[in-house]
Amino acid sequence: MEESLIQRLESAVARLESISSSSSSGFRLIESGADEAPLDPSIAAFDDLMVQFLGRVSAAGEKIGGKALEVTKVLEEAFSVQKELLIQIKQSQKPDLAGLEEFLRPLNEVIVKANALTEGRRSDFFNHLKSAADSLTALAWIAYSGKDCGMSLPIAHVEESWQMAEFYNNKILVEYKSKDPDHVEWAKALKELYIHGLRDYVKSFYPLGPVWSLTGKANVSAPARASSKAPPPGAPAPPPPPAGSLFSSDSSKAPASRPKAGMAAVFQEISSGETVTAGLRKVTDDMKSKNRTDKTGIVGASGKETRTGSSSFSKTGPPKLELQMGRKWVVENQIGRKNLVIDDCDSKQSVYVFGCKDSVLQIQGKVNNITVDKCTKMAVVFMDVVAACEIVNCNGVEVQCQGSAPTISVDNTTGCQLYLSKDSLETSITTAKSSEINVLVPGAEASDDWGEHALPQQFISVFKDGQFLTSPVSHSGA
């Protein structure tokens, strides 16, 4: 009997300690119902989600460090903010559109912070940053307010948001599959966080969207952020927050009495019937092109603008072709250079090509990874690659593999010619947000012409047997 009583007391103390730690870690409760909110089953389940799934991502991020840890901290902050919002929803009445926009502002600020980490020059952790930032849009399920709000149902929204991030998450799995298990664990844990964690949570508690209180406070304010610090006395007031958010309110429309400006004013004047041509000059016969004697049909060479400056210098910075830290070849801002060569390389080094135009680069040896980023009319010829060759944000590029490459990925690119050798015909080619992708393969004999194959960029999805089946669009005709 005494042992049973002691166990019950210990479990009660443990529960009180967990409630105290969660409330002291930055979750501010409003005064109405502050004691009941943490005990709500949906809030307790969200705590379990954060401990079980988010904790696994955090543990892997701690082992990796660097930018991966930084974006993991932002991920933790976003889920903490979502918990604050869920507590507020339990205690408040549903606001109007303007109030909902203000209510969701803290979540929007964290998402903007995550996206800011992906901007600028790509780092070695770009895939980590991109997958985490894109995945955070799944937390916007909380903004669902009905079938007319322009969003998918919460469960579908979480799944669709993860599909956006999975492209970069798969890159992490491919790149570190045989190199570093911590990165693989981080990528797998991130997927579990959304597909089995957040999706199942939303399915259990909010399949039709958040459930607002019918008897709570009418005016909902944005939850206080634990990380924000009050300005010191005498300091100037902070500037107003940016207008962009998860929603756009119609309350800011200009009144009807406001005079029109820009093209609207032009069309209004034309349709008003006024003498809009009153200020035009009359064209006489000698001013007509057919009667002018000072013009000929020959374009003079002196009329063509010529560029006398050096063609090897970019506006973004000086050209580079160098090995950094003994591990990464950097080729940047090369313009009009047809004889770029990297010959002293090994399988532990990577090659990063950025901001080049109208140039040709030859990589004579096996390297670990090749990335071609923001290049125009660039040609890259390489022998072998261990991990992958990535083409990102490019226009009109040509890439030729003379040896083998397990993976070639093309992302956000318009116009790309891929030349494969006989040793690389089993290469896996991944495309996303790209068009005009052609793959050329050698013929059966050495004297045969190359075969050209266009990768599909249009797809059709059909719902069959409880799921969508997607296949490329095929055009048939005479």
Nearest Cα to 374, choosing from 400, 392, 358, 389? 392
Average pLDDT, the chain: 78
Two structure tokens written together for 407: 């993976």
| Amino acid letter, residue 312 | S
**For residue 75, what are the domain limits?**
41-206
Q: What is the chain's alpha carbon radius of gyration, rounded to the nearest angstrom?
A: 30
Judged against a pLDDT cut of 70, whether residue 252 lies above it is answered with no
The residue among 46, 101, 113 whose CA lies nearest residue 75 is: 113
**174 vs 388: CA distance, rounded Å:** 8
Cα separation, 380 vs 353, whole angstroms? 9
Q: Give the residue from 206, 225, 249 where a domain finishes.
A: 206
Name the pLDDT band for 4 (thresholds 50, 70, 90): low
Residue where the block lists tokens 């970019």: 314
- Residue 394, CB-side half-sphere exposure with 13 Å CA sphere: 32
Residue 51 sits in the same domain as residue 189:
yes
Residue-wise pLDDT for 226-249, tens only, equals 444 444 444 454 544 444 445 444
- Model pLDDT for residues 439-464, shown as the tens digit of each residue: 999 887 777 788 899 998 888 899 98
How far is it, in rounded angstroms, from Cα 137 to Cα 166? 13
Question: DSSP per residue over 400-467, as a string?
Answer: EESS--SEEEEES-EEEEEE--GGGTT-EEEEES-EEEEEEE--SSTTSPPEEEEPP--EEEEEETTE
Assign residue 391 the CATH number of its domain. Answer: 2.160.20.70
pLDDT, position 13 = 56
Question: Is residue 370's pLDDT more than 90?
Answer: yes
In which element (H, E) is residue 340 found? strand 340-342
Who wins on pLDDT, 133 or 282?
A: 133
Q: Considering 206, 238, 262, which residue would you say is the last residue of a domain? A: 206
Both tokens of 46, joined, read 């969200």
My answer on whether 324 and 449 are in the same domain is yes
Neighbours of 437 (CB within 10 A): 20
Q: Within 10 Å of residue 241's Cβ, how many Cβ atoms?
A: 12
- The enclosing domain of 191 has a CATH number of 1.25.40.330
Q: Identify whether 10 is part of a domain.
A: no
Residue 242: inside a domain, yes or no? no
Query: Do 53 and 193 sit in the same domain of this protein?
Result: yes
Average of per-residue pLDDT across 145-160 = 85
Give me the amino acid identity at 302. S
Q: Which tens digit of pLDDT belongs to each residue from 78-95?
A: 999 999 999 998 888 888
Query: Does 262 reside within a domain?
Result: no
pLDDT surpassing 90 at residue 75: yes
Give residue for tokens 């052609």: 438
Q: How many CA atoms are closer than 13 Å to the CA of 472, on its beta-carbon side? A: 7
Per-residue pLDDT, 23: 41
Q: Which two tokens stand for residue 426?
A: 């089993």
* CA 132/CA 109 separation, integer angstroms: 15
pTM of the model: 0.45
Q: Is residue 404 part of a domain?
A: yes
> Cα angle vertex 297, ends 294, 301, to 5°?
90
Q: Does a structural domain hold residue 7?
A: no
pLDDT in the model for residue 272 = 54
416, 410 in Cβ contact below 8 A?
Answer: yes
The helix (H) or strand (E) run that includes residue 373 is strand 357-373
Last residue of one domain, picked from the residues 206, 226, 258: 206
Number of domains in the chain: 2
Asked if residue 27 is part of any domain, the answer here is: no
Of 353, 358, 351, which Cα lies nearest the Cα of 374? 353
Torsion of CA 190, 193, 199, 202, to 10 degrees: -140
342: nearest Cα among 318, 368, 316, 317: 368
Q: What is the mean pLDDT of residues 130-147?
A: 89
In a domain, 422, yes or no: yes
Above 70 in pLDDT, residue 265?
A: no
Compute the distance between CA of residue 360 and CA of residue 144 in angstroms, rounded to an integer.
50
* Helices then strands, each counted (H, E), the chain: 11, 14
pLDDT for 101 equals 85
311-357 pLDDT per residue, tens:
444 456 889 999 888 889 999 999 999 999 998 888 889 999 999 99
Residue 232 lies in a domain: no
Helix runs in 244-386, H state only: 263-271
CA 199 vs. chain centroid, Å, equals: 20
Which structure tokens are listed for 189?
């844990």
